[in-house]
Structure 1
Amino acid sequence: MRNPGRRGAVALGVTGLVVPLALTVGAAPAQAASCTTQTGPYQKQVEKFLGRPVDGRQSAADCKAIRAFQNKHGITPNIGYAGPVTWGVMDLMNKQKAVGKKPDKAGKCPVNKGRIACVNLTLQLSWIQDGSRLVYGPVPVRTGRKGYKTRTGLKKIYWRHIDHVSTLYNVPMPYSQFFDGGQAFHSVGLSVWNPPGSHGCVNMTPKDAKKYWSLLKKGDDVYVYGRKPGT
């Protein structure tokens, strides 16, 4: 493993590519990996999100639609149950969409630093601004889960490696831009809404990670704030 510089003592492989945690609070009844007939506590909300008839009762068609969503985003158990984890992902998506093109409306990210990459842990969003001008984003990201929080505060990109591979987890971390020890922006080959989160890195889609690579450089500021739901 190459030494990434002055902060490289921390292990670099922090992608969080792990098997998602099973539901615990409000979990569905234990079943085989097939469609459940059980109505979940968030049935109506999930039906509305998926464009299904909102009647609050589980149907075969509801279950099929819920399972498709769960499979797409790596939510387990994937039995079509409208539980808290599935609704939590949907609710986050709704909140992210509501932000529109004004991610720094509250003025939390510094505007006196020139080009800066901002990370809102609460909404799991990131964007790049130059002063107060929005340069790119906001885009959804996947940050550190409980026990592996993405650390908050003002940082700087100190090392970039386009083809980095984690020696800790033996997984690829394309377009890595390290800003705090082993924590970096990088792309992942799974949904950025996949629960419960990374091992501290800011996971991005390949498209967004590639764009960040083209827009940022060593020495650029990164500001991380807020708190990821569930951490």
Structure 2
Amino acid sequence: MKRSSVIRRAALAAAAIALIAGCGPQGGGAGSGGSGGGAGATPPPVTTTAAPPASPSAGSDDKPSSPTPSASSEAPKPKALMDEGDETEQVRELQARLRQIGYFDRAPTGFYGSMTAGAVKSFQKKRELPATGAVDEATWQKLVAMTHRPTADELKPSTTNKLDAPDPRCLTGRVLCISKESRTLAWMIDGKVVSSMDVRFGSENTPTREGLFKVEWKARDWTSTIYHTPMPYAMFFSRGQAVHYSADFAARGYAGASHGCVNVRDKAKLSELFDQVKVGDKVVVHW
């Protein structure tokens, strides 16, 4: 027997043993003989294994999670129609309306200070609105619905503005205690109010200076050397700024402003005060 025939028979025998051991591909198709394919069986197609999809995180219930809202998606703060520092006729109306329902206990001034902000905040808390102290559209509409349009007397009453708590510097000695918040002048001696009156101040461009001063000199009849306007019962306290009577204040009220002086509109009251105040008495201008 030739050597090549021996080698071929040995190879066929080895292949037969491999098929019986199950090393070949599993079959099961028609005509396969039921136990596996022969040497000429078609090999199975080669498949590539794709990367498994990312598994959902724990607790996701196999559903995509909702995006986390960003800070920019938060509701914007309501725009303020009126806020501290404003000085307008609408602020005066606001104060008059608040006064109608017991939230503002002084005459309207048109200036939005801390007292007005406190009154607005109390109103907002009572109506379960955001208690910001500033008037937004919702606050204004609620207030308008609860009140009537203020009359001329309600907007600019002739009565004296209510005094606020005096500055601590006003509680000793003889003092002209002047509040920008309540727009009042209180003549005080050793902490007791002797008399009081409405006042107005300088404009934004010519503000009335704040601080502790003293009466430097007095003039019953004086005319401004700069603006050439009368300044009766002038009591000077700070480099040309003085407490004095103003006919313009008496006529126009808070629609106008001074050039830095403290204007008084009640001439009779100021005349009495002028006679009582002495040079050297304290002057306190505060908020």
TM-score by length of 1: 0.55
- The alignment status of 1:149 with 2:199, answered yes or no, reads no
**Which structure's CA Rg is the greater one?**
2
Q: Is the 8 A contact 1:143 1:150 kept in 2?
A: yes
Q: Is the 8 A contact 1:118 1:128 kept in 2?
A: yes
Deviations 1:147-171 (A, max 9, x none): 1111011101111111101122221
The one-letter code sitting in structure 1 at the alignment partner of 2:97 is: Q
Q: Label 1:130 to 1:199 Cα distance change in 2 as closer, same or farther (>3 A).
A: same
Q: Tell me what 1:198 maps to.
A: 258
Give the one of 263, 271, 274 matched to 1:210.
Answer: 271
Q: Distance in 1 between matches of 2:222 and 2:242?
A: 11
Q: Tell me what 1:45 maps to.
A: 97
CA shift for structure 1 position 106: 5.1
Q: Tell me what 1:96 maps to.
A: 161
Q: Is the 8 A contact 2:202 2:258 kept in 1?
A: yes
Q: Tell me what 1:126 maps to.
A: 185
Q: Distance in 2 between matches of 1:57 and 1:221?
A: 43
Q: Is the 8 A contact 2:97 2:148 kept in 1?
A: no
* Counterparts of residues 51-130 of structure 1 (less than 5 Å): 66=152, 96-97=161-162, 99=163, 103=164, 105=165, 107-112=167-172, 114-130=173-189
CA shift for structure 1 position 56: 7.2
Q: Distance in 2 between matches of 1:130 and 1:57?
A: 41
Q: Distance in 1 between matches of 2:99 and 2:175?
A: 39
Say which structure is richer in strand: 1
**Aligned alpha-carbon RMSD (Å):** 3.8
Seq. identity, %: 26
Give the one of 194, 198, 201 matched to 1:140.
Answer: 198
CA shift for structure 1 position 217: 1.1
Q: Is the 8 A contact 1:119 1:223 kept in 2?
A: yes
Say which structure is richer in helix: 2
Note the residue ranges of structure 2 that are not aligned, 5 or more in a row.
Answer: 1-86, 102-144
Q: Is the 8 A contact 2:100 2:147 kept in 1?
A: no
Note the residue ranges of structure 1 that are not aligned, 5 or more in a row.
Answer: 1-22, 27-40, 70-85, 227-231
Report the secondary structure of 1:148's partner residue. coil
Larger relative contact order (Cα-Cα within 8 Å, sequence gap ≥ 6): 1
Q: Distance in 2 between matches of 1:45 and 1:141?
A: 22
- The alignment status of 1:163 with 2:163, answered yes or no, reads no
